[in-house]
Structure 1
């Protein structure tokens, strides 16, 4: 077997391996190696169509590999970044709010989420007052029926930024930073709600012995 045949068989084996790959980065790496092998054999045999095809495929696979590695790098950076909304503000719409206004009510169809700029706002059912610079309304996006789980009312006139769920979906699929931001945001909100529930359960359990004592005294 000559070295050219060996390179040709190697290229064939790499092409078969590439077809069996399930993940994109190993596929691109094997594709690049197979292109190089095929290019060498085609050039040695003066196979012009093979040379042209591999000269086109080699840079395409190389560019796609570079893009995927860049995407992974950006995703890793996004997973370590803070939950700043500054970069998202250009995609949002500013609107004024009035005292007593209900921005959304529990059970309503959810179509957007908000970012508080000024004024005072309260989640009515939980009695939580939101500080300025806080995201609210994102849980409706995750809800199976896209319905509001709480009521948000304005206690003091101010301004908010809003973004529709349609725009959120576009950013979610187009921008890995936003995808990780949104997952971290919703996870943080869920964990926070769980902590509040655990604190409430602990408080109720602590109050139960006192209630039992009062009941026994009343029975006596």
Structure 2
């Protein structure tokens, strides 16, 4: 068996190996190795259709691998970042609510995410509040029913920022790390709310 024949068998084996990869990152890495082996084989054996195909596929696989590595870095950064919503402010719009007014009722359609700029917002069902710098309304926004799970009342005059469901979805599509951020935020908030609801129910007995 000649060296050229060996390159052909190696390239074929690498293609077979791509079907055994458990992650896209490893699949792309093996695919790049396969492209290089096929390019060498195509040059040595003068099989130009094979050569042309893998000359085209090589930069495509390199680009996809680079995008995947960058995506993984963003996801790791989001996973290690504190739950700080300040970077959302440039995409949000202001709203003022007077003390005693209802921002939304339990069971309402959930279509907006809010951030408190100043003042205090209370959730009477769970005896909980949020103040300046905190987000609220995300649980209903990301639930299947898309309904508010609590009533939100302005305990004082409140300045809010809000972003629509559609605008937030576009931001998440552009940056998957943002989706991970809200997954962490929603899971944390649901756990806290469940614990507070149990405490309120126990105190009422």
In structure 2, relative to structure 1, the CA distance for the partners of 1:154 and 1:184 (3 Å cut) is: same
TM-superposed deviation, 1:156:
2.3
Work out the number of aligned pairs and report it. 205
Q: Tell whether the 8 Å contact from 1:78 to 1:176 is kept in structure 2 after alignment.
A: no
CA distances 1:24-63 after superposition (whole Å, capped 9, x unpaired)? 1122111111111110011112333333322221111112
Residues 110, 147 of structure 1: 8 Å contact kept: yes
Structure 2 unaligned runs (5+)? none
Partner deviation per Cα, 1:178-219 (whole Å, 9 max, x = no partner): 112101111111221233245456657xx8xxxxxxxxxxxx
Deviations along 1:8-32, one digit per CA (max 9) or x if unpaired, are 0111121123245453112211111
- For residues 135 and 25 of structure 1, the distance between their equivalents in structure 2, rounded to whole angstroms, comes to 34
Alignment check: 8 A CA contact 2:126 2:197 kept: no
Given that 2:105 and 2:152 are in contact with CA atoms closer than 8 Å, whether structure 1 keeps it comes out as: yes
**SS of structure 2 residue aligned to 1:156:** coil
Instruction: Give the corresponding residue for 2:140.
Output: 140
Structure 1 segments of 4+ aligned residues over 6 angstroms from their partners: none
Give the unaligned 5+ runs of structure 1. 208-220
- C-alpha contact 1:122 1:129 (8 A) present in aligned 2: yes
User: Would you say the 8 A contact 2:127–2:200 is kept in 1?
Assistant: no
User: Take 1:27 and 1:40, find their aligned partners in 2: how far apart are those partners?
Assistant: 20
Corresponding residue for residue 211 of structure 1: none
Secondary structure in structure 2 of the residue aligned to 1:191:
helix
Residue of structure 1 equivalent to 2:4: 4
Is the CA contact 2:118–2:158 (under 8 Å) kept in the aligned structure 1? yes
Structure 2: distance between partners of 1:131 and 1:75: 28
Aligned to 1:94: 94
- Which structure has the larger Rg? 1
- Tell me by how many angstroms 1:2 deviates: 0.8
* 2:196 counterpart residue number: 196
CA deviations 1:108-154 (Å, max 9, x no partner) are: 11111100001222113233232111111111123332111111122
SS of 1:161's partner is strand
**1:69-88 per-position Cα deviation (integer Å, ceiling 9, x unaligned):** 12112111110101111221
CA-atom RMSD, angstroms? 2.1
Distance 1:96 1:181, change over 3 A: same
